[in-house]
Amino acid sequence: MAETVTIARPYAEAAFRAARDAGALGIWSDRLQRLAFIARDAEMVEVIGNPKLSAEQVAQLFISLSNDNDAVLGNFIRVLAENERLSLLPEIAALFEANKAAEEGVKEAVIKTAFPLSDADLKALVPQLEAHFKTRIAPTVVVDAELIGGIRVAVGDQVLDASVRGKLETLATALKN
């Protein structure tokens, strides 16, 4: 996996620079997500690996499926096809998203909860977490019944543990000392 990320990184950075320079980070984000979805399709995996098809034929198929007539995107797809890198589109899209989040000052927050959060609860929680961590966050909610109750939030290397399990562990450590 590390090898594919290493190979995908220059393409993701090139797409990011082109998108940033054009002021179109959101548009390119959508484009790359769509292309990654296409590249993961089982039939497209076969097409990408088919030696009977030229790079231009595969590129044209991707361009037509993307429903986007942007010349820069078309050239990007052609470069990927010529270098046999279309299968890396999911990694390219993920790296692009990471660059976009860093540019926008948004960090990924993994919110572990004992029970599922409603949309209203999440919308109320996010501003509080942004104030606590002093950054904009993109939340990902994970249900973990082992927490018993409460939440545990990880943003980068910072962790906020307001779970029942975390409090019990703290209490157990205090009692041992």
3-state DSSP assignment of residue 83: coil
Residues 97 and 111 in one domain: no
Number of domains in the chain: 2
pLDDT the model gives residue 177: 82
Q: Which of the listed residues 84, 102, 120 is the one where a domain comes to its end? A: 102
Whether residues 97 and 168 share a domain: the answer is no
Give the global pTM: 0.71
Both 84 and 115 in one domain: the answer is no
Per-residue pLDDT of the chain (177 residues; tens, 9 = 90+): 568 989 999 999 999 999 999 999 999 999 999 999 999 999 999 999 999 999 999 999 999 999 888 999 999 999 999 999 999 999 999 999 989 988 988 998 999 999 999 999 999 999 999 999 999 999 999 999 899 999 999 998 899 999 999 899 999 999 998
| Backbone angle region of 82, left / alpha / beta, with phi > 0 → left and psi within -120 to 50 → alpha | alpha
Asked if residue 118 and residue 47 are part of one domain, the reply reads no
Q: What is the CATH number of the domain that holds 15?
A: 1.10.520.20
Please give the pLDDT value at position 69: 87
Last residue of a domain, one of 51, 74, 102: 102
What integer pLDDT is reported at residue 54 of this predicted model?
A: 95
State whether 85 and 169 are in the same domain.
Answer: no
Residue 70, token pair as written in the block: 């942007």
Residue 33 sits in the same domain as residue 66: yes
Last residue of a domain, one of 70, 102, 134: 102
Do 123 and 95 fall within a single domain? no
| Other Cβ atoms closer than 10 A to 163 | 21
Domain encompassing residue 13? 2-102
For residues 88 and 39, membership in a common domain is answered with yes
> In terms of domains, do 95 and 73 share one?
yes
> Which alpha helices (H) appear in the chain, and where do they start and end?
2-22, 25-40, 42-48, 55-66, 71-82, 89-104, 119-133, 164-176
Same domain, 95 and 33: yes
pLDDT score, position 61: 94
| Domain match, 16 and 95 both | yes
Q: Both 74 and 128 in a single domain?
A: no
